[in-house]
Amino acid sequence: MSNATHRSTEAVDPVCGMRADRSGAPLAFDARGKVYYFCSSMCRDEFQKDPERYAAKRKSWWSRYLARVRKTTDGKPMNCCH
């Protein structure tokens, strides 16, 4: 199996961050039209208790970086090194 095919069958579990198999339909949950996949039934059950908490948790690394920059600079432009 190629890496591209292998990656397309995997997802990231929104609860624990581990890899989850997309073909594991019993370990999937549809929340507001988006399907989430889980590594175990424990993670799926935890997600079902409060989907909003975990659905909002996953931000891209760029969004997290920009949020840290805004927090440390109080939203003001940073001084350039030039």
Are 37 and 22 in contact, with CB atoms under 8 Å apart?
Answer: yes
Query: What confidence tens digit (pLDDT) does each residue in 46-76 have?
Result: 999 988 888 776 666 776 677 777 778 776 6
- Please check whether residue 78 lies inside any domain of the structure: no
Look up the domain containing 34 and give its range. Answer: 3-73
- Please check whether residue 79 lies inside any domain of the structure: no
The region that residue 41 occupies, defined by phi over 0 for left and psi between -120 and 50 for alpha, beta otherwise, is alpha
DSSP string, 29-60: EEETTEEEE-SSHHHHHHHHH-HHHHHTT---
Is 0.75 surpassed by the pTM of this model? no
pLDDT of 7 over the 70 cut: no
Report the number of distinct structural domains present in the chain: 1
- Please check whether residue 80 lies inside any domain of the structure: no
- Please check whether residue 40 lies inside any domain of the structure: yes
- Please check whether residue 14 lies inside any domain of the structure: yes
- Residues 28 and 38: their CA atoms lie apart, in Å, by 6
